Structure formats: C-alpha cells, structure tokens
Amino acid sequence: MRPPTRAPLHLLATLAVAVGAALLAARARRPAASVAEVLARAAAPAHRDARYHAYFVFQPADCEGHLRTLTLFRRSPVATRIRVAALLLVGTPADLAAVRERYGARPYGAPIHLLSDAASRTLRSLGYARTPFVVVTDGRRDVALTARVPSTPEQFVALGRLLPTLPPTSAAARASQ
C-alpha cells in the first residue's frame, strides 16, 4: 500500500496563502478614510449644519477644567460658526457609564460616545497620543483644525480668537450662493 501523499495539504496551504494575499491586496486598494469621515462615523452630527463640527477627545483622567474649555464653543461668535458634535471618550464602556453618571449624557449640549478604534488609530496617525484635544471638521469631509486643549489662560484666549476666524464652511458657501 502506498503512503498518503501530502499534496492535498500542500494545495490547501497554498490556497489559504493566495486567498489571504488577495484579501490584503483588496484592503490596501481601499481608499483610506479621512479623519472627518472616521469621526462622522464615530458620532455623526444630528442634522445637516452649515457650521463646523467640533469633536472633543478626552479620557476619564483629564481634569474637569479641560471640559470647561467647551464653554468657549458656547460663546458667540464661536457658537454661530462651530457646533460641538460630540465628546469622544478614550476608555471602556465602564468609563463611559461613569463619565455619563458624573456629567450627564449631554454635557455642554453634546453627546458623549466612546472613541472608536478606527478613529483612535486615525488620530494617532496625526500625532495625537495624549488627550485632551479637539478636532474641528468642515462638515463631513475636511479637517479644518486640530488643537490640544488649552492648559493656560493665554492659550484659552488664543483659541477663542482663532476659532471665529475659520473661513466659511463649504456648506455655508454653497448656501449663500
């Protein structure tokens, strides 16, 4: 009797490698999502809005003083140009529950969501390894501004002066034509 051949195992292994390579190639061809697209999937704005959308990224260890930076976005003329779309928490579902218990589900008028893994990877690729920071997008496509949250009164004033100087969003420009 002839010993069993390894041809079926070799063929199966070759087929698995080929399928894996094809899947990796297809994934590589897929265009990378923009930061704005990743954030929009993480916490889409409730409605179409011609204002910029701000996403505040933080973690439970960030002090309450950093969250107070959001009062800046309630001030006119910032509030007429920029809407806080969401507060994105870097943490676990248990962290989210604790933060919501402490601050409510919509502190400063914006919902709190967990930062998705995809959004976290995208933001890290921009160099943001530490929180808190804010990302301001022009609707759903372009990032208009990224900034660390101010840690001094001077930085707070500077950010407050910068935000209203952003040019009109593309949606606002189309609406005025």
Cis peptide before 132 (omega within 30 of 0): yes
Give me the helix-helix angle, 117-125 and 35-42, nearest 10°. 150
Cis peptide before 77 (omega within 30 of 0): yes
**Residue 112 scores a pLDDT above 70:** yes
Per-residue DSSP letter, 27: H
Q: Which residue has the higher pLDDT, 102 or 35?
A: 102
Q: What is the distance between the alpha carbons of residues 53 and 17, in angstroms, rounded to a whole number?
A: 44
Question: What would the pLDDT profile of 6-63 be if each residue is shown by its tens digit?
Answer: 555 444 444 444 444 444 444 444 444 566 666 665 555 555 668 888 989 998 888 7
**Residue 74 scores a pLDDT above 80:** yes
Q: What is the pLDDT of residue 41?
A: 57
**Residue 149 scores a pLDDT above 60:** yes
**Residue 86 scores a pLDDT above 80:** yes
**Residue 165 scores a pLDDT above 70:** yes
**Residue 2 scores a pLDDT above 50:** yes
Cis peptide before 60 (omega within 30 of 0): no
* CATH T-level fold of 35-166: Glutaredoxin (3.40.30)
Give the total residue count for the chain: 177
Boundaries of every domain in the chain: 35-166
Please give the share of the chain, as a percent, with pLDDT higher than 90. 10
- Res. 5 pLDDT band, cuts 50 70 90: low
Inter-residue contact 76 to 83 (CB < 8 Å): no
